[in-house]
Structures are given as C-alpha cells and as structure tokens.
Structure 1
Amino acid sequence: MYNLFVVALLMGCGGCQKTTDPVVGPAVSDSVRVARQTIKELISPSQPSRLEEETVVVEGQSYRVGTVQQSSYSYDKQGRILTEYNQYFGASSMTERTDSIYYEYVGSAVNIRRVALNTVPKRVTTQRLALDSRGFAEKQPTIFVATYDAKGYLLALRDEYGRTVARIENGNVLELSVSTSPSTPTYIFRNTYDLTKAGLPSIQPIYGKPSRNLVIETAIDRDNFYSIDKNVYKTTYWYKYDQYNRIVRQIARSIEGVALYEFGDNTIRATDFSYVSSPR
C-alpha cells in the first residue's frame, strides 16, 4: 500500500484555504529547476544509517531524523530532465543503494533507462513513454492516462478502462481514487491547498507540473465496498523558504488514523531542495 501513498504525493508533490475557493492563486515559474533533493526520515532502531542526523521541531515537539535518500538532477536547455542520480541509505535500501536514470528524447517519446550501480552485474531496466505534442507523458506516473492544460497542469486522469479517477480544479488535484485490483479496497486521497501560495517546482517535467498551489494536507479514506473508513491516514505539511521565495524544506508529518498498518507507522519526513541557479 505504500506505493499508493507515493502516487498521491506525485499528484500534489498562516491560514489555509480549501480548494473550493474559486481563486486560482500564484504559480511556480517555469524556469525553476531542482538540482538536488535530500530526504530525511524519523530515526528508528531498525534504521542502521544515521547520516546527517538532526532534530526537527513540529508544533513544539522534537523529532530526530536522518538522511535516507539524496538525489541530483540535470536538465537540457529546454528544461527537460536528462539525468537523475540517487543514493539510498538505511534499512529500506539494503538491496539497491545507488542508481542512475537517463532520459533520452526520441520524436514523440522518451526512453528511460535505469541502472542499478551497486549490483553485480549492473541491473539495467528500460521504459518507453509516449509524449504528447508538448512533451508531456500520456500516462502518469505510467498507470493513469493523463491530459494537460495549455500551461502543463493536469486536466484529467483516467484508469485503463477510461474511468475518471481524479477531481481536479485549477491545476490542483482535489481527490484521487486508487485501487490495485477489482477485489481490493479503493483508497481516496483528498488534498487541501493554500491557494495564496505556489506549489512545488517540477523535478520531472515530462509528467507536467505539480499542483498549481501549495498542498498543506493529504487525507486518505478507504472504501471497503460496503462502507468508507474516513481519515485512515493523514499527512500535514509545513514549508521553509529562501530569500527568493523558493521552497527549500518541506516537513511532512503522517498519522495513522486507525490500526490498519497499511501505510506504516506515524512518520516524519523532511525534504530539502536546492536549485540549479539563483534568480538575478
């Protein structure tokens, strides 16, 4: 089930305003590109690595976190992602600790080649994604059929049967329904945004732009065919900005609403961003 949570974050990723407000709000500049991303998670006895350990404070409570992933990115002159280099640390990375991902644009498609660098021999996987006339992937993140507006924000997501799986307004995904099979429950991800602030910058522009506005909460409901469990998992987000009003840290606190153990225990995740260049 953790993969479903990752899908929701990809859709997203003072006082708040619900997205039912008709105000569109600001948007991230198309020229902003992330050069490096560092992810730190709550330290536990099962996590042997405590790289770059630090304390983060959330609503007055202190948490110890350590680095579990570092990623760096490069782009071409058109702003398209070219390479991605990832290093993984801790208990969750015992099989693959380093990989490189290469993006090759050929006509109306992109070839994605992933090389696991720590395996012997090196393990290579390839994937080919069709792109529309503006260079956006026709599937996102490969399981949904996606359409985009003129600025690259999502207009619609549909499953393999053509059914709409997301409710989207003004480039913000309000709800996303995900099920791994007809016999499993459907998980409904509900996002709340601060409409006065721009969303996160795009790391992989082939998937269009992330949400237009800043996601501040994601709540997950579970549809059990006969009943709906509300708020089985909830994530709240906080942000830190640099002098150029760019997000340099996102802190996410996730809380298990009921004892389902499907998304893991309560967690803290700090994600740091650095950028290709500073505005002049």
Structure 2
Amino acid sequence: MQDAVEKLLGILDLERLEDNLFRGVSPDQSWQRVFGGQVVAQALVAAQRTVDPARSCHSLHSYFLRPGDPATPIVYDVERIRDGGSFTTRRVVAIQHGRAIFSLSASFQIMEEGFDHQMPMAEVPGPDEVPHGKDLKERILRDAPPAVQRYWMRPRPIEFRPILFDHYLTENKLDPVQRIWVRCNRSVGDDQPLNAAVLAYLSDMTLLDTSLFAHGLSVFDERVQAASLDHAMWFHRPVDVGEWLLYAQDSPSSSGGRGLTRGSLYQRDGTLVASVAQEGLIRPVRRG
C-alpha cells in the first residue's frame, strides 16, 4: 500500500517542459486506458504550478474527450486565462498522440473570511465499524463476482470501506445512494495543493457505479458500457487526505444513455470539505 502511495505521488510530480507545459506518466501501463482521476489530478497539478501559492483551487470543471493511452506520456498545456485581484483562472488541455484527450478549467482564490454554512453529514457507522480487510474478504467478497473481488482487493494508494456492499451482490434495483469511507493510505503532509490533487484523484472512483444501482447493475457488468464524460469539483475547506473522509453519493437522474451522480466529502467530525458532480456514459452494450 505504501508503494502505491509513493507511485501516486510520483505521477503527480509532473515534469516541467516549459513555463506552461508539463508532462506526466501513468503508474501502470498494463491498464486498457488511463484512469480518469489520474488525468484530473495531473491537470490540476499543472494548473497549480502556474498560480501564486497563496491562491488555492476552489473549483474545477473538466471533460473527458478521448480514452488515454497508459503507455504514452501525457502533455499538459496550461493557458493563463486571467490573474485578477482575488481570483485566478487557468485552462489545461491534456494531449496524447497530437490530440486532446481531456480539458480542465480551474479557478483559484486568495483565502478570505466570509459567510459559512454547510449541509450536515448523515449519521453512519464509522470506518472501523464496517467490514474491511480480512473480514471483508471472508464475509462478503467470497460471494461477489470475480471482477468485483479483483477490484476491491487490488492494492491501491486509496483505501475504500463501503458501508453497504448490497449493490455488488444482487441484481435487484436499489436506491442510487452510496456511502463510502475513503482515505489515502498515508498522510501527504500539510501541502494543501497536493492534498487537493489527491482528493481530485480519488473523487473519480465509484461515482459511475452509483448511477447504475437503480437499474440492478454495476460498472463490472459486461452488459454495460460505462465511461466518465465530465467531472466537476468544489473545494470548500482544507483537507487531510490521510484521514478518513465519508464520500456520500447519490444519483438524481439517468437518461439518454447518461447517468448523473453527486458526491459530498466529509471529515469524520462532519466538516464538508468538497463537493463533486459527474455525468457518465451508461448504456447497454450493443451486440451484433
């Protein structure tokens, strides 16, 4: 797990090619395509490196344009849209094989005081009260499909502890709601830009699945074609990704071959640190 974290931090340490040009690589070239959260996080890092450190990202909006090739480095081209008195805006295009595969717009702001409120966190079992580790493997995953077993037991830099696993063990149509405890497998320190990048990385995990629960399906089902189409985040408050966060998700709608999922990331004390929204392609596989 620690090696996986080091690998993640390594791919987030982009190579600077020019003032506004950066290059990143993928951690595992055996994947069929680049993980979307990786591209979001790397593009955010590229933008961060052209912004005054006194300004932190408060929002990003992005589109996945083409599947990324994990065997090829990704070039991130940053456009300095605006440097204002309080806000800074950057646009980033990720390029492979001479074509754009991803685009991101991000806004940065000087920290300031202002009105403060948030929606409360739901009462749920804590991360130590839900099945995990050996208990998860022996009690729950033994009855899950092989693809689900491989996914949840694979070593990764982010640890997930779902409160309920019902969605992966049945084809019944269930409420499109999911609650998962998440954290990086070790602290990345007080560096808030790096914490934000890791949070962006993990925020792309499990969202598409939530939009399929209402249809008795999951992204592991061979009958489903699924892919992220866009991804938006709002960073509300400082975060330590090495501490447990509750990722509360719900999918208000699916239509036209697309599913929308919203997410809220809370600290254990109930502080809302970020909000997420993603629309993904979810359509039956067309055969013949």
TM-score normalized with structure 1 length: 0.28
- From the two aligned structures, give the one with the greater strand fraction: 1
TM-score normalized with structure 2 length: 0.27
